[in-house]
């Protein structure tokens, strides 16, 4: 099973993924950004957003196909707001029989900017500049499975992900 935690930069995907991993026995985090860093270092032409590199999408999809065995518990914290890319990765995985449960963490732009600052990142950083557009893109019905996180604690967000995705967690 794959749990894909989507959301804009600074919304808390990685924090939620870490909390989920601690309470979902046998799970591990797969980070597609690492593939992006690898490709950025290896390819002669770098794209502003490595998701625009077709090889990034293919490579991550193929890795997830290989890793998602019958008893796998994979957590993927990754912003993915382009509907074509979503279909290319998540849609293709689902079409080939993989159990991919997608959730989008949502928050007001002010909350996202406050969270970016709390992790010592400027609201004018690349991720901060993307927040408004990514939040708007996540309003697409394709991303309709959402959790509003503005007033939730980290533990409550993890509990909400488990509830929405139907997985059982160990106690906090």
Q: Has residue 170 been placed in a domain?
A: no
What CATH number does residue 103 fall under? 3.40.50.300
Q: What is the pLDDT of residue 161?
A: 98
- The length of the chain in residues reads 172
pTM of the model: 0.93
Q: Has residue 69 been placed in a domain?
A: yes
**Greater pLDDT, 143 or 121:** 143
What is the extent of the structural domain holding 72?
A: 2-165
Q: What is the pLDDT of residues 76-131, one digit of tens each?
A: 999 999 999 999 999 999 999 999 999 999 999 889 888 888 887 777 787 788 88
Q: What is the pLDDT of residues 42-82, one digit of tens each?
A: 988 877 788 999 999 999 999 999 999 999 999 999 999 99
Q: What is the pLDDT of residue 113?
A: 86
Rounded Cα–Cα distance for residues 104 and 150 (Å)? 13
User: What's the whole-number mean pLDDT along residues 134-141?
Assistant: 92
Number of compact structural domains in the chain: 1
């Amino acid at each position: 099973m794959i749990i894909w935690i989507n959301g804009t930069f600074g919304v808390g995907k990685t924090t939620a993924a870490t909390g989920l991993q601690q309470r979902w026995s046998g799970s591990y985090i797969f980070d597609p950004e690492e593939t992006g860093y690898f490709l950025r270092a290896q390819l002669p032409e770098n794209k502003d957003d490595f998701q625009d590199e077709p090889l990034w999408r293919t490579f991550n999809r193929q890795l997830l196909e290989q890793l998602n065995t019958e008893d796998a518990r994979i957590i993927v914290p990754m912003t993915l707001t382009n509907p074509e890319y979503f279909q290319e990765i998540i849609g293709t995985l689902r079409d080939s029989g993989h159990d991919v449960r997608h959730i989008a963490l949502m928050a007001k732009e002010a909350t996202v900017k406050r969270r970016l600052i709390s992790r010592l990142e400027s609201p004018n950083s690349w991720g901060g500049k993307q927040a408004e557009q990514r939040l708007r893109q996540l309003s697409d019905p394709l991303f309709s499975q959402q959790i509003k996180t503005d007033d939730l604690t980290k533990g409550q967000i993890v509990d909400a992900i488990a509830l929405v995705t139907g997985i059982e967690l160990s106690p906090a």
